Structure 1
């Protein structure tokens, strides 16, 4: 399969690129900064903004002999640092408008499958989020990303796309010393409400990537949201 990738330079997006290529798929990645992602066999890199429909159109046609079967969206908002209190850099509605643009361009091109990386706590999963997680999100600048994810959640449901919203619990980086067998364990999935979420829930970035790719390739959870954890 051939994929359009938005957010391929992020910590999850880079894993998605590697997972797709290792499985024999191909992809075109739209990146905002030239040189932020190195082209390699099976990967075409196009510089542009997801806020520009014409840039997304250019990405779709960047590999003339290949038409994307689906898109994987791993964009997130940016802050001045990884601190949850750091000021927001991304404009309001960055995620919502980027996703709406992508869906519009994809629909026009006859492509109807998109898998979007969201986060636990969005939409109807907020009620099941542990109270301490709610407090943390509400008291830090993470609230701006959450608001944008909520807007995206509403926007995508208005489209005709075969969408999936993947809502990971708290992301953690993979331990390079961890055994390979451990990192390939199946994740746990909860319904869109995330009933049963716990404060200690985490999920490895590599686990999220594999789940996103599997969901896109196998056509799972169409027109639904799913909360996931390790």
Structure 2
């Protein structure tokens, strides 16, 4: 079993799966009745976003309308973007290849693909294991996840991922806990599930909420 690095994940039973434990805290916008988001949906959204960010960096563009968009004046997000860019710039051939739309499963790039033989049908374990097999791709992916969570705004996170952490307004302190768990699942456990080694955390840029943000939630709860 994967090492539980986050104290919030210590409540997981030994026979429970980390992905199930984390995702059941959220409500998907994709269903008419309340249901947690599917793991396949999350993999698809994150990997497609990672590939898109890679293509944008290769083309010298800054994201303006994607899951990883950020304000150019946000210095923290910009620092993470440059960290991601540095890895890609040092390994151009690797990232040109892995970010190509025809390098995805059959659900991606069908119009441009001449031969689908031997191509995975979806963002399954086999596809994800191959996608993250190179340590430089895993390193870039780590920084990509940091970029998504650098501005730890819960309303924005709900919009980015197309699922909700609660039905009420305003958000509560346990909403912060849910998103912290999801962040750790994405940056660490998603990779461990593939029997691969995640990139070592650099806590200096980790996109966790500030003391002021958490204190605001606590004060709202006490009102």
Q: Same fold (TM over 0.5)?
A: no
Structure number with the higher strand fraction is: 1
Q: Which has the larger radius of gyration?
A: 2
TM-score, normalization by structure 2: 0.30
